[in-house]
Amino acid sequence: MMHSRLDTFIIVLVALLAVIGTASAGTGDLQVLEPDTVGIDEASGSACPGCTPPTAAFRADTTSGSAPFTAQFHDMSIGTIVDRYWDFTNDGSIDSTTWNPTFTYTQPGTYTVRLIAVGCGGADIEVKTDYITVLPGATLSLVAPNGGETWEQGSTHTIMWRYTYNPGDITIEVLKGSTSLGTIPNVPVGDAGQGSYDLTLPYSVPVGSDYRIRIASSNYPALNDVSDAPFTISADSTTSIALASPNGEESYSLGSVLPFSWTYTGNPGPTVNIEVLKGTLVLKVLPAIPVGSEGSGSYSLTIPYSTPLGNDYRVRVTSTSNPAYTDTSDKSFTITAPTITITAPDNGDTWQQGSTQYIQWDYTGNPGPTVKIEAIKGSAVRVIAASAPLGSGGSGSFTLTIPPTIPSGSDYQIRVTSTSYPACADTSDGTFEIGNPT
């Protein structure tokens, strides 16, 4: 191996220091060497018997990259090695004395690397000229979306960027405000300085006007770029839900069936949530109801008797896949209570002991399938029928044979009560008489 005069001087100097260090070990002072050959290995010419003169050699895992570039070096020297001295930029400075060091090159350029291997048998230098090539740092710039765009849910759009040198694979991140909604890792950077990725927006992604895209090098996350300004994600304009009923001004009775129906376009998803609203309060939620088929859907609910009465009810139908697809009753509807009104006996009527009479009533809404009928005399109450049929078509009746043993009197009343909804009841307006047969 050819060495420069400086290299030769360094080798001789290091070897001399190695011999001196051996001769003066343990004293801290330079000892005078006697002219005899004590301690000299005549066969090898070395001051250290058994030492093998070093031969310097090294390699790097990778010899080129973009600034900042970190190279991993490996000392491949052979022989008896005591010390090693690395100069990674060939500027005469010792940068490392470790066995397998790393060094980071911060500036572009071509660098010569020097290793001096020192042993008790001498020293050797390995110089690799223009061994490390450091390219200018890579750049990465987002082109689209860069602010002001509007993307619809379910649509596909192209994210585009430019780059210089080699930033490596790209990670794409979707931001809503400061919140990350998801990342797409290890996207190929592209070629010829340009890259792109086609992103299909899920129907479930929230709508909003505060979206940005961030791209970053997967290898160097500090190398990144973000949309200059926000863009908008809006609902798919080809998809909608329209509530058909109840849509306002209807009236439904407790215990009756409340029908829901709607139409839809596009793809609102397989199911909807139905909410019953009283004013601003959500009174009930019917979750995951099938959306229907061929553009329409329906569902029905029997109104519980415990439901509060009111004229401020509305219904809202919303896609479970995408809350942007929703509709609410245009106007309020009413929930009322059912009624029962006794029409016979009437005030002043007289029923004879042993006769057959008819208790009659009218009803509205749905009081339930059966009623309880009671006879009242003063403060005494006697159940005539615990569960008589309600009737049909808004009226009902019950045939009663007056027992001949029942006490006569002019203070009788009849009460009819729904067995399903006890608040729905009526008592004859006045009293009637039960008398002895004439």
Domains contained in the chain, CATH given = 5-135 (2.60.40.10), 139-234 (2.60.40.1930), 240-336 (2.60.40.1930), 339-435 (2.60.40.730)
Whether this prediction's pTM lies above 0.75 is answered by no
Query: In sequence order, what are the beta bridge partners of 96?
Result: 86
CA distance 314 to 309: 13
Query: In sequence order, what are the beta bridge partners of 170?
Result: 187, 217
Instruction: Give tens-digit pLDDT for 324-344.
Output: 899 999 999 999 999 999 999
Instruction: Give tens-digit pLDDT for 161-210.
Output: 999 988 899 999 999 999 999 999 999 999 999 999 999 998 888 899 99
Least confident of 112-121, 198-207, 236-245: 198-207
Instruction: Report the run of H or E that residue 5 belongs to, with start and end.
Output: helix 5-23
Q: What is the mean pLDDT of residues 376-384?
A: 94
Q: What is the mean pLDDT of residues 261-289?
A: 96
Q: What is the dihedral of CA 374, 375, 380, 385, to 10 degrees?
A: -40
Query: In sequence order, what are the beta bridge partners of 299?
Result: 260
**Residue 23 in this model has a pLDDT that exceeds 60:** no
pLDDT at 48: 54
User: Across the chain, what does the average pLDDT equal?
Assistant: 89
Instruction: Report the run of H or E that residue 19 belongs to, with start and end.
Output: helix 5-23
pLDDT-derived band of residue 121, with 50, 70 and 90 as boundaries? confident
Which residue in this structure is represented by tokens 């401020």?
Answer: 312
pLDDT at 438: 67
Could you give phi then psi for residue 88, rounded to 5 degrees?
-80, -15
pLDDT at 44: 41
**Residue 42 in this model has a pLDDT that exceeds 50:** no
Burial label for 125, CB within 10 Å (0-12, 13-18, 19+), is buried
**Residue 99 in this model has a pLDDT that exceeds 60:** yes
CA distance 50 to 120: 10
**Residue 361 in this model has a pLDDT that exceeds 50:** yes
Neighbouring C-beta atoms of residue 60, cutoff 10 Å: 17
pLDDT at 437: 79
pLDDT at 14: 52
Of residues 381 and 21, which shows the higher confidence score?
381
Which residue in this structure is represented by tokens 């909604």?
Answer: 181
**Residue 213 in this model has a pLDDT that exceeds 70:** yes
